[in-house]
Amino acid sequence: MIKTVCIFGSYKDLSKKEKAEVIRLGKLLAENGASVISGGFGGTMEDISRGAKSAGGKTIGVTWYKWEKPIYSKANAFIDEEIVAETLFERIDIMLKKAGAFIVLPGGTGTLLELSVVLEHLNKGLINPKPVIMLGDFWKPALNCLKKEPVLSEKTKNKYKISCCDELVTFVKDVDECVKRLKIANVC
């Protein structure tokens, strides 16, 4: 069974070095049997899809076109399967349900919203724990406030031995460590 990894990140391009690493991440995920799911548009969403396609992987884009001033009129060229959501929250819900793990890249308010929804579902036990991997240190300042925030789900605390919300995420330094963590978690 092919596993699906959801990547959250900016619709804007990152630096050339970061862009190359996101493309390499997509390639490594595909080489390890994982499909990638993203928001389906440009920036890191396109980079991860480009990398996955270069290794023959499957890509899924969950798009939403209801903005006041649309930035995109179609999914990026590297998307195999487009799922069009009616609302922003439906878009996030689809990604949440389809993913076996999440990788969070630098981004803006949309990425922060996606991450927050995943963490809330994990904290309340609305979904079983799934790996949430933070690539780099970009989000560390935002997540420092979770260090003393207890996990509310008894199942998560007892079965998975996670007691504090900051334990719901794992920070990694680079793409190789990210893929290694996914392999340990048996996601790819």
Parallel, antiparallel or unpaired: strands 101-104 and 132-135: parallel
Written as tens digits, the pLDDT of the chain (188 aa) is 359 999 999 999 889 999 999 999 999 999 999 999 999 999 999 999 999 999 999 999 999 998 777 778 899 999 999 999 999 999 999 999 999 999 999 999 999 999 999 999 999 999 988 999 999 999 999 999 988 899 999 988 888 888 899 999 999 999 999 999 998 887 76
State the burial class of residue 98 (Cβ atoms within 10 Å of its Cβ: 0-12, 13-18, 19+). middle
Region 3-184: CATH code: 3.40.50.450
